[in-house]
Amino acid sequence: MILWLYSWLMWLAQPFLRRKLLRRSVQEPGYGQCIEERFGRYAQPVPAYDGPTVWLHAVSLGETRAAAVLITALREQLPHMRLLLTHGTATGRAEGLKLLQAGDLQAWQPWDTPGAVQRFLNHFKPELGILMETEVWPNLAHGCQRLGVPLVLVNARLSNKSLRQAQRLAWLARPAFAALAGVWAQTPQDAQRLQSLGAKVKGVVGNLKFDAAPNAAQLALGQQWRAQLPKPVVMFASSREGEELALLQILGRVPSHAANVQWLIVPRHPQRFDDVAALIESHGFAVQRRNTWGQGGPPAVADEKQVIWLGDSLGEMALYYGLADVALLGGSFAPLGGQNLIEAAACGCPVVMGPHTFNFLEAAEQAELAGAALRVADLAEAVAVAGALCFDRPRSEVVRQAAKRFAQSHQGAAQRLAEVLVSEWSQRDLPK
């Protein structure tokens, strides 16, 4: 009865989803592509294929990049598999396109109604389903269970906040987690929280994102640009709405914080690039956007105004981390849970983070213990600490090397996870 009520509400929400996608497509055209796939309707039949179809769902850009290392490891274990890659965001789908080989398939995640899920599974007929990190949907889990498609959750994480939310909806969440064929968690703490929701946790293998190597060419180019600059660079990495405003207000109150270093703001969401540019200008700063630089790097500016750089490009975080002397961790200075600091660590970029890191709690705590990241009470303190660290070369180098060691010491999850998945698969007598 509860699942029926949930399904009915999801069915009623479909017109609102269509309108939302059309609105988003104005700024991000990818959201306007193949909309009917969201509802389990496909324009082309699936070509015949002599091998198993492995379906992997990575909802957004971060999950897709983490999935890349797992896909590589799975291809080594199952060289004849066909990959079906699904996503929920336009940036995730664009990134996923880079991972496809001949014969592979890509589609949108089906909206979580029984009809859309049934059509999706009947159309693609996957022999194994892999969900990344947090993407557990009730009808999707029950549909796979009903049709005998083993559906697993990997690189799984669950914060205390998300656990409390799931417990409030236990009548819906617990059956969904129990319907999964298996769960492999990032940390023992994640495993405990997932088990409390009825998930079949089969192991803890670490975080796939440690295995994702930064783009070496981008990193080298950013470091090359940094070496030519007269001032150190402080980056606000993956900033969220409200955080840029708070930063600009701090810089306005303490002009020396703006004058002594070069600030670079890289918003988390690309649809906000123009809004952040306007916000910077409204506070009396000039804006210089990455998309105007070309391959020569940021040009010198003759304007007397203090210039703030805006990272308005996608897929260049390694370049930005290479360019930065220090990075502030977006999402951690407001109660938003923080963003992932693993890529910054892999690039050897010191991180200053605020008090709100519950989305990546274990990684943030481990980085702090390893000396790879510094914890502060608020954004004002972060600005001061980052500025001081830029000019303390011995200390910044210690943090930089600690960050690299921290990232390297946690690698290997992709290989471990691919091995256990294939082992589970072989026990089901499915084709390799």
What are phi and psi for residue 226, nearest 5 degrees? Answer: -60, -40
Q: What is the 3-state secondary structure (H, E, C) of 167-206?
A: HHCHHHHHHHHHCCCEEEECCHHHHHHHHCCCCCEEEECC
Is residue 261 within 8 A of residue 233, CB to CB? The reply is yes
Order of strands, edge to edge, in the sheet holding 351-353?
Answer: 286-289, 307-310, 262-267, 233-239, 326-329, 351-353, 373-375
- Is the dihedral angle over the CA atoms 32, 24, 275, 351 positive or is it negative? negative
Torsion of CA 248, 253, 256, 258, to 10 degrees: 10
Half-sphere exposure of 307 (CA within 13 A, CB side): 16
DSSP reduced 3-state for 357: coil
The encoded tokens of residue 2 equal: 């509860």
Half-sphere exposure of 43 (CA within 13 A, CB side): 7
The closest of 153, 184, 189 to 363, measured between CA atoms, is 189
Beta-carbon contacts of 170 under 8 Å, excluding residues fewer than 6 positions away, are 197
Which residue is catalytic, options 28, 36, 37, 63?
63
Cα 366 to Cα 187, 356, 374, 405, distances in angstroms: 11, 15, 11, 12
The closest of 387, 400, 401, 404 to 342, measured between CA atoms, is 404
Cα 171 to Cα 120, 165, 177, 260, distances in angstroms: 25, 12, 11, 55
- Measured CA to CA, the distance from residue 172 to residue 145 in angstroms comes to 15
Cα 157 to Cα 145, 196, 300, 353, 358, distances in angstroms: 22, 13, 44, 20, 11
> Known catalytic residue: 63?
yes
- Element at 280 (helix H, strand E): helix 273-282
The closest of 336, 308, 335, 334 to 243, measured between CA atoms, is 334
Active site residues: 63
